[in-house]
Chain A
Amino acid sequence: MRFLNRSAGRLSRHRRRPVAGLLLLMLGLVLTGSLYAAFAPSSQADSAQSDEELVEQGRKLFLVGCSFCHGQNGEGVLTEDGNQLGPTLAGVGAAAVDFQVGTGRMPAAQPGAQNPTKPVTYTQDEIDALAAYVASLAPGPAVPDPEDYSLAGLSEKEREEAVSRGGQIFLTNCTACHNFAGKGGAMPHGGQAPSLSDTSARHIYEAMLTGPGQMPTFSDGNLTPEEKRDVIAYLYSLREQPEYGGFDLGGMGPVSEGLFAWVVGIGSLVGFAIWIAAHTARSSKKKEEASA
């Protein structure tokens, strides 16, 4: 009791000091402020505000750069003879915008069988704004989180398993068009399945998610996010793999290998044979002179 009394007395002594009132006031203010910050919906209001701004910014960009083909509200535009100038963008989602604009396929230079990749026209901020606007038209796949396709946090063994499983999934679902080494290939009517050797993990993921052009989609119900991640891990492992068997010559199989063997291989043999036949050292001396 004596101790308690003493401490209580010490506290009351402090309280009587002139600073005590000021300190108490400060404490009250800070507490009130932080409590307000914790409970008031101010942060959500801010982000909603910025989302709206982003969509509005995206809409302005869209009206300038995309609406000619895709319509002023992204509803798509039909040509006079009933062909589609640009398809509707309702429901394609932010992932499709991030892929098409982020790889330079959009804005398209001209209508054609397939839009090739070009230098990217928009900054990432502008692409995000466009994606936010298109995503606001109708629900669709969102831009994937880097965690969805990153192998970070996996043990060495788990990584090996991911690469091996991803390889099987790739060889079953993707090889038909993209070639066994992901080098791409020709498709009907002037189209082509692009090479995946330089495509970023994010864009590969978005392509699987949205199925650009003629490519079938591999939605999350079709290939789970882990399976998509494994496919990407396999494709990345191909890039790091040394060419054990010598030069891969584009990884296109017998076409480039046969071309190399016939043109370079047999050609150099023919050249060598001609060179041998054309070169023999001759002496100006006569045999009789030499022997004499």
Chain B
Amino acid sequence: MTEGHDGHLPGLPGDDSHNGSHDGHGELVPGPIADPGLPEHVWRPTDVDPKAEKRAERQIATLFGLSTVCVVLFVVSYIVFDVNGGGGGATVRTVGGLGASNVALGVTLAGALLFIGIGLIQWARKLMGDHEIVEMRHPARSSDEDREETLRVLALGADESGIARRPLVRNSLLGAVGVLIAPAVIMLKDLGPTNRDVTDSQPYIGAGLEHTVWEKGVRVVRDVVGTPIRTGDLEIGDLINAEPETIFEVDENGDPLLEGVPLQIAKSKAAVVVVRMDPDENNPAPGRENWAVDGILCYSKICTHVGCPISLYEKKTHHLLCPCHQSTFDLADAAKVVFGPAARPLPQLPLMVDADGYLVAQSDFKEPVGPSYWERDSQQSTSK
């Protein structure tokens, strides 16, 4: 508060001295109606009635007390209400269809904070000093003397530091500050492997940016359940979210072939969608004429924009839509981008049928799956 700046005492209604001239910025011309001044200050009950004051004191203390009660209840309900039903099939307690634990914890913690807040406001409004403060408006512009003085000091500073005369010092300072970016760069770089680090020689199958676990003869299986697919299983209009059988495979001891990070990498790169359409409606890219089996087509499920999994499929238009940025691919036209920010068509997995009649891959993808990266030529695609 700037009280006292103009020599005004706060809470002095009727003091007309500040209605005169200020800071030498022009004279106020007295109008035809006399300035009535400020109305007289009206006191609060707590200022004039000791009983009201005592009562307010008790109210505020009660509010703080209620806050403490809420904190105690919070601790109690944290212990009493079990979030997951305590295991063993015990049911979770509910209040009006909502989880009892959430409701109790939320209400008590909100109450604890709210009561402290209300108490503080009551204190300030009922018991703390009740001054009316008048703050006069001034022009925002500094006086001419102040401006000249400031400019003079700045020029003096530049002159005395010699920043113009000593380029060696100035440039070395700029260099030092610039080099400070380096710690940030090396720390950010270590957040994940660079593209060059993701080499094909990693100790798991399908390693490298340009390869997945798909290879010749790997069965296409349904995601989640892992069952292989026969061509006769699919009707026109069917959509299957699929994975390579490799990620469901187990060795002779019944242990999974892939686990942990290699499994996640394999799943995230090799995920595909399988659709069946009328073979007459499919318009394969040159060189891909034998990649489909009876109108069954298989494309990477990883969007070529920033790598979201896509499976919003419209069976009549054959459009596959990415929910992140609305990139739309026409699966009947070699997954060409028909809308959205994606730069390249979805990579297609060449399909064939194995001796048992199940859908298998002819080979790995012929181009890297997923979003573009620096080393990749984003114009290069086997569908062009």
Which residues of A line the B interface, CB within 8 A? 165, 168-169, 172-173, 176-177, 187-188, 191, 211, 213-219, 221-222, 227, 242-247, 276, 280-287, 289-290
Residue in B closest to A221 when the chains form the complex, CB atoms: B233
Chain B residues 151 to 178 lying within 8 A of chain A, measured CB to CB, are: none
> Within the assembled complex, what's the spacing in Å between the Cα atoms of A94 and B181?
68
Interface string of B42-73 (1 = CB under 8 A from A): 11110111000000000000000000000000
Q: Given A217-B315, A290-B49, A245 and B328 touching (CB < 8 A)?
A: no
In addition to A221-B235, A222-B238, A243-B97, 4 A-B residue pairs with Cβ atoms within 8 Å of each other are A165-B225, A172-B241, A173-B239, A222-B233
Chain B binding surface SS class: mixed
Q: Which of B190-198, B210-218, B317-325 lines the interface with chain A? A: B317-325
Residue in B closest to A215 when the chains form the complex, CB atoms: B315
Residue B341 interfacial (CB < 8 Å): no
The reply to whether A216 and B237 contact each other, CB–CB distance below 8 Å, is yes
The reply to whether A176 and B311 contact each other, CB–CB distance below 8 Å, is yes
Residue B98 interfacial (CB < 8 Å): yes
Chain B residues 79 to 98 lying within 8 A of chain A, measured CB to CB, are: 83, 92, 94, 97-98
Which residues of B line the A interface, CB within 8 A? 42-45, 47-49, 83, 92, 94, 97-99, 101-103, 106, 121, 125, 222-225, 229-230, 232-235, 237-241, 275, 310-317, 319, 321, 323, 328
Contacts of A221 in B (CB 8 A): 229-230, 232-235, 238
> Within the assembled complex, what's the spacing in Å between the Cα atoms of A194 and B98?
25
| 17 pairs, CB–CB < 8 Å, chain A vs chain B | A168-B224, A188-B319, A188-B328, A191-B314, A213-B316, A216-B238, A217-B315, A222-B235, A222-B238, A222-B239, A242-B92, A246-B99, A246-B102, A276-B121, A280-B44, A282-B44, A286-B43
Contacts of B83 in A (CB 8 A): 244
Contacts of A283 in B (CB 8 A): 42-45, 47-49
Name the 10 nearest CB pairs between A and B, nearest first. Answer: A221-B233, A216-B239, A244-B99, A290-B48, A214-B314, A176-B311, A217-B237, A285-B48, A242-B94, A219-B235
The reply to whether B314 and A187 contact each other, CB–CB distance below 8 Å, is yes
The reply to whether B224 and A172 contact each other, CB–CB distance below 8 Å, is yes
The reply to whether A281 and B45 contact each other, CB–CB distance below 8 Å, is yes
Contacts of A289 in B (CB 8 A): 48
> Within the assembled complex, what's the spacing in Å between the Cα atoms of A165 and B226?
12
